[in-house]
Structure 1
Amino acid sequence: MTDLILILNAGSSSIKFALYPLSQSASTPIISGKIAGIKRAPVFQARGSTGCAISPGVLAILSIEEDQTALTRRLLCWIKEQTKEHTIVAVGHRVVHGGQQFGGPVLLNEKIIGELEKLQSLAPLHQPYNLSVIALVSSLMPDVPQTACFDTSFHRTQPRLAQLFPIPRHFTDEGIIRYGFHGLSYDYIASVLPDYLKGKSKDRVIVAHLGNGASMCAMKNRRSVATSMGFTALDGLMMGSRPGSLDAGVILHLIQEQNMKPADIQDLLYINSGLLGVSGISNNMQTLLESPHPHAQEAIDLFCYRAAAELGALLPALGGLDAIIFTAGIGEKAPLVRKQICHHLTWLNLRLEEKANAASATVISAPNSAIDVLVIPTNEEEVIAAATYRLVAEKTI
């Protein structure tokens, strides 16, 4: 019998999971997988530590009608069945927003959960679901400690100017600042950068986390100094169903001239914009890449143009650029998107190696490129597992 840590990473369109042995050095899960395509075409995938596929059992057939909470309940029951000969001793969660209160991972209790509930309006696609998953685990495993690891924590190293909005100071004092997100992904990339850059002096790096949610982070010496997302996960890059940076006057116009209500605005910004809104077809990049419709191509083109523009906006925080890292679903698996983004950046003397990019190799920049360009798979679950182990070990010592 093995003691295990269960990691649950709930995103806007998927939930990933991994089961790690309770060990300080454990970096390979014994089982990992995900339910992807939630609300679109949900599918379950799981693999064992040997790389072999695992029978999906009761998760073989998923319904588009099932919401994230219902699918998570089924997933937890499946995990319990798979681990009946082992003991889950802790559960670690990705929680999107930690606000100003939480600058690092925490052991959860009722008081902390209450504080996290107050932040739900700042991440309505994620925070309510993150908290509902925590509640589900509590109901199924009431005696198992749970931890929360925050997407906002990594960015607390940013200088004050990078966090400020140009609004009246009292709003800043109330906590309306740039928080930044996808911090667990950036934390992982920062931890492995020395392995990939192999001793090169690459102090100024921009990491592009491109998925259904997308952002970029400017890192100096592997610490966040600026990021594209701000107070909420709406800012910055165009995303699957979110617009990214948007003139606030557009929102005023929709309220004043089209009588849109707050709930309508929220749906517009979180659910009906981005790739989905521009294409009118899908929020899924792969679907758009396979579509012959001109609206699909325009959505892809806009996504790439906006990504390059946001990358350029991060350069002043670094004072130059040594390397670009592509990661997450689109960043790791869409050569055409990487190519188009880099095409907009040739003025930086950036050059891609076409064959390497097409093969999604680790290094995709050409030998004569002034900037290294790499593709590095992210691993948020490993970051959560390591933090959960530390917290549980501290509690038991």
Structure 2
Amino acid sequence: MTPAILTLNAGSSSLKFRVFARQGLALMARGAVSRIGGDAELAARLAGGPEFRSPVAGGDHAAAMQAVLDFIAAHDEGWRIEAVAHRIVHGGTRYTRSTPVTPQVLSDLAALIPLAPLHQPHGLAAIAATRRLLGESVPNLACFDTAFHAGRDALFTHFALPAALFEQGVRRYGFHGLSYQWLAQVLARDHPELHRGRVVAAHLGNGASLCAMRDGRSVDTTMGMTAVDGIPMGTRSGAVDPGAILLMQRSFGMAPDQIEDLIYNRSGLRGMSGRSNDVAALLADGSAQSRFALDFFALKCAQAAASMAVSLGGIDAMVFTGGIGENAAPVRQAILHHMAPLGDFATLVIPANEERMMAIEAAALLD
């Protein structure tokens, strides 16, 4: 039997998975269940093999998890799942490294749902489904998107609010930590001189943020207490004047749930363009609204990069990752054009691989 690690990344309507060999972490299978809650479908393949597609009966994460396990059982090549690693967006101040899931951990993470309403419930749903379907003998491990940013200087973790609120958890946490942790490992391996230097990393996808890194550690980042802060994203607004939120409540009669839906689901590129949050579609569309949304996104990314450079005392490299960062060359070029006043610096594109980072974390915990 080949000991293996299963990684899961649960979203509101999707469940992505990878199967890695525990020794050496060779990728053995990958796939995703899409359109959970609707016409759900599993698309999966063994490493190097053809794609397998199948409808998924049932409309929740438990059904999606069952479909993943059924695929693994049907295509098992002598694997033995020894652990399941889950991407959990928010670990708060208590969880600053990957950790085995216990009832206390689950309770603590559920209390953080208000800080990550778009992500946290689905990660917890995947854990519940895994525990029910695989039993207690297979450990579940939580890998946190906030953990990489723990330990930053207090200058980068506070809002300009009374200290009592900071003590109650109103603070800047930062996200996309698994992605930045992977970038730090790749830089240390392939570009050690840059790894030691002043790196501004941009994880640009449907969720987007920037991170100032030195010696493989987070110094500053654009996201704050929640994953809606910072630069504009696919459907999320990014930073908005708090007064605008108050105006929506007091003068426009919008309830908190309506405002939450607006800033998480109906803003960003989708809201500004009036068309889509898909950058490829916006580039192809070419309408004035689509061009404006992309121009705005590029400008805000560049402004944020300049802010990260100030936190580092300069910039030696700009690293792009994520779906937009890796694949949308015109957007990268527009960002770099705006960054010209910062002088010369290296530019790299490094594919995101949060799943492998989770497998690395899981293997270390098992060992």
Establish whether TM, by shorter chain, passes 0.5: yes
SS at 1:30's partner residue? strand
Alignment of 1:22-171 (within 5 A): 22-23=22-23, 26-35=24-33, 45-49=43-47, 51-56=48-53, 58-59=54-55, 70-83=63-76, 85-142=78-135, 143-171=137-165
1:72 shift after superposition: 4.4
In structure 2, distance between residues paired with 1:326 and 1:38? 30
**Which residue, 339, 345, 351 being the options, matches 1:371?**
345
Q: Which amino acid aligns with 2:31?
A: G
Q: Which amino acid aligns with 1:383?
A: M
In structure 2, distance between residues paired with 1:156 and 1:79? 35
SS at 1:157's partner residue? coil
Tell me, yes or no, if structure 1 residue 3 matches structure 2 residue 11.
no
SS at 1:181's partner residue? coil
Tell me, yes or no, if structure 1 residue 189 matches structure 2 residue 155.
no
Percent of aligned positions that are identical: 40
In structure 2, distance between residues paired with 1:311 and 1:42? 38
What TM-score comes out, normalization by structure 1 length?
Answer: 0.86
**Which residue, 360, 364, 367 being the options, matches 1:390?**
364
Corresponding position of 1:363:
none
**Which residue, 275, 286, 296 being the options, matches 1:292?**
286
Does the 8 Å contact 2:92/2:112 carry over to 1? yes
1:67 shift after superposition: 6.1
**Which residue, 307, 314, 319 being the options, matches 1:313?**
307
1:28 shift after superposition: 2.2
Corresponding position of 1:366:
none
1:172 shift after superposition: 0.5
In structure 2, distance between residues paired with 1:253 and 1:73? 45
Does the 8 Å contact 2:98/2:143 carry over to 1? yes
Does the 8 Å contact 2:212/2:218 carry over to 1? yes
Aligned length: 366
In structure 1, distance between residues paired with 2:311 and 2:12? 29
1:294-338 deviations in Å (ceiling 9; x for gaps): 221111111111111111111221000000000011101110110
When residues 249 and 70 of structure 1 are mapped into structure 2, their CA distance, relative to the original with a 3 A threshold, is farther
Unmatched runs of 5 consecutive residues or more in structure 2: none
Corresponding position of 2:326:
332
1:114 shift after superposition: 0.7
Does the 8 Å contact 2:188/2:195 carry over to 1? no
Unmatched runs of 5 consecutive residues or more in structure 1: 350-369
Q: Which amino acid aligns with 1:305?
A: L
Q: Which amino acid aligns with 1:372?
A: A
1:171-207 deviations in Å (ceiling 9; x for gaps): 0111111000000000010011033325457510010
SS at 2:20's partner residue? strand
Q: Which amino acid aligns with 1:237?
A: I
When residues 199 and 305 of structure 1 are mapped into structure 2, their CA distance, relative to the original with a 3 A threshold, is closer
| 94-103 or 283-292: bigger deviation | 283-292
1:87 shift after superposition: 1.9
SS at 2:233's partner residue? coil
Does the 8 Å contact 1:210/1:328 carry over to 2? yes
In structure 2, distance between residues paired with 1:85 and 1:325? 39
Does the 8 Å contact 2:42/2:67 carry over to 1? no
In structure 1, distance between residues paired with 2:290 and 2:93? 39
RMSD: 2.3
1:378 shift after superposition: 1.6
